[in-house]
Amino acid sequence: MRTFYALVICLILLLPGLSRGQEEQPQQGTQQTQTTAPSTEASPAPTVPHQFVFTPEQKALKNPEKFTEDSVDKGKKLFATQCAMCHGITGNGKGDLAAVMHVNPPDLTRPETLSARTDGEIFTIINVGSPSMPGEAKRLKTIQAWDLVNFLRTLEGKKPAKSAGTQTGSAAP
C-alpha cells in the first residue's frame, strides 16, 4: 500500500512538469518548422555567402603568383585536399562534409560568385575564414593561398597562361 501511495505522489508531482513540457513542444516545433522552411527553399548555394568588410589594403592585395597552369595545378591539388570536402570536388558547393554539417558553401563554378571579388578579397577570405569556414592562414603558406586564388579563377572560366619555367614567388617552399 505504501508503494501505491508513493507512486501516486510521484505522478502528482510529475504531471504539471510533463503537461508544461507538452504545451511548449508544439511552439518549439512551430519555430523549428519556420526556421527550417526558408533554408529548404533556399537550398541553392548563395552566390555571395558572407558579407565581408575588407580594408582597402586587403582589396588592393595583388597576387604575386602569376596566373599560370603550374600555379593553377598546385591550387587544384590544395583545393582537392583542403576545400573539396565542403565546397565539392568541382567547386559546386556540394561537398560531403557540407551536407553533414548543414552548411551551404557557395557554388564557385558560377562566374558571378567570384567575379566581383578582387584577388586580395579572395585571399583574405581563404586566410580569415567565415562563421562556417575556418581560416587557413595558420595551415597554408602564403604562396599556397595565392595558388588557391589562381585555381578559383579557373572555376569562373578564366584560362591560365602556359607555364614557362619559374614564376614569381614559386621558388620559395
Looking at the chain, the whole-number percentage of residues with pLDDT higher than 70 is 66
Q: Is the same domain home to 64 and 137?
A: yes
CB neighbours of 92 closer than 8 A, spacing ≥ 6? Answer: 45, 107, 108, 109
Q: Of 5-19, 67-81, 91-105, which gets the smallest average pLDDT?
A: 5-19
Q: Is the same domain home to 85 and 144?
A: yes
Contact 158, 67 (CB under 8 A): yes
Number of compact structural domains in the chain: 2
Q: Is the same domain home to 105 and 150?
A: yes
Q: Is the same domain home to 140 and 63?
A: yes
Domain range for residue 30? 1-43
Distance CA 156, CA 25 (A): 46
Q: Is the same domain home to 32 and 114?
A: no
Reported as a single tens digit per residue, the pLDDT across 71-83 is: 999 999 999 999 9
Q: Is the same domain home to 28 and 71?
A: no
Q: Is the same domain home to 65 and 126?
A: yes
Q: How far is CA 71 from the centre of its chain?
A: 23
Assess whether pLDDT exceeds 50 at residue 51.
Answer: yes
Q: Of 8-22, 130-144, 152-166, which gets the smallest average pLDDT?
A: 8-22
Q: Is the same domain home to 34 and 114?
A: no
Q: Of 62-71, 109-118, 162-171, which gets the smallest average pLDDT?
A: 162-171
Q: What share of the chain is helix, strand, coil (3-state, %, to 5)?
A: 55, 5, 40
Amino acid 72: pLDDT: 98
Instruction: Please indicate whether residue 171 or residue 53 has the higher confidence score (pLDDT).
Output: 53
Q: Is the same domain home to 17 and 67?
A: no
Reported as a single tens digit per residue, the pLDDT across 97-128 is: 999 999 999 999 998 999 999 999 999 999 99
Q: Is the same domain home to 37 and 120?
A: no
In a domain, 171, yes or no: no
In a domain, 164, yes or no: no
In a domain, 169, yes or no: no
Looking at the chain, the whole-number percentage of residues with pLDDT higher than 90 is 58
Q: Is the same domain home to 31 and 110?
A: no
In a domain, 93, yes or no: yes
Q: Is the same domain home to 27 and 64?
A: no
Assess whether pLDDT exceeds 90 at residue 24.
Answer: no
In a domain, 49, yes or no: no
CATH number at residue 144: 1.10.760.10
pTM for this prediction: 0.67
